[in-house]
Structure 1
Amino acid sequence: MKFRPLHDRVVVKRTESDEKTAGGIIIPDTAKEKPQQGEVVAVGPGGRDETGKLTPLDVKAGDAVLFGKWSGTEVKIDGVEYLIMKESDIMGVLEGAAAKKKAA
C-alpha cells in the first residue's frame, strides 16, 4: 500500500467475521454487522502536544485492535477497503490475537 497517514491517524483493515454462529447457524451477508475489530496497517508519526513536541502513537502496524461501531472514515485504496481513524477512536489492542492469527 502506498499510503501514509498524517499526525495521529491510523489505517485499519477490518477482520472478517465468522460466517456461522456458535450454534452452527449460517449468517447471510445481508444480516451481518460490520466487524468492530481489525488489524492496523499503517500509523502516522504521532500528534503534537501544546509545546509542539511529537507524541508517538501507542499502536503499531500489525496490532489487532477494537474500535467503535461508527469510528473512522471508510476509503478504498487499490481496491481494498480500509478505515482511517484517529488513535483516540481505538478502544484497545487485543493482546495475543495477532499471535493466534499467525499460528493459524
Structure 2
Amino acid sequence: MPSRFEPCGLTQLYGLKYGTLPLVRRTGGLADTVSDCSLENLADGVASGFVFEDSNAWSLLRAIRRAFVLWSRPSLWRFVQRQAMAMDFSWQVAAKSYRELYYRLK
C-alpha cells in the first residue's frame, strides 16, 4: 500500500494474518504494524513485509524488487509468512501493553 497518509489501515493487518506480505510506505499505522524485511529484521525474526520511505515511484520499485528477491527464496519467504501470520494485534495484547505501561509510570 503506497499510501501517502494512513492513520490506521486494516488492509495490511488482513494481509499479515493470511500470509500476504504487505508492501507499504512508512507512514502512520502502516509504520506501526509492518516490520521491513531488512537483513537485521530477518535475523531477529521480526520481518513481516516490505517498507519504503519516500513517496515516489523509485522507492516503490526498490521495495518491489526486494520483495521479488525474497520471493525467489521459497523457504525464507514461507518463514516470513509464518512470522507475519503469528503476529497478534488483538485487544488482549494491546490492553496488556497499556496496563504494563501504566504500572511502570506509577
TM tier, smaller: under 0.3
Structure with greater proportional strand content: 1
Normalized per residue, the structure richer in helix is 2
Larger Rg: 1
| TM-score computed with the length of structure 2 as normaliser | 0.23
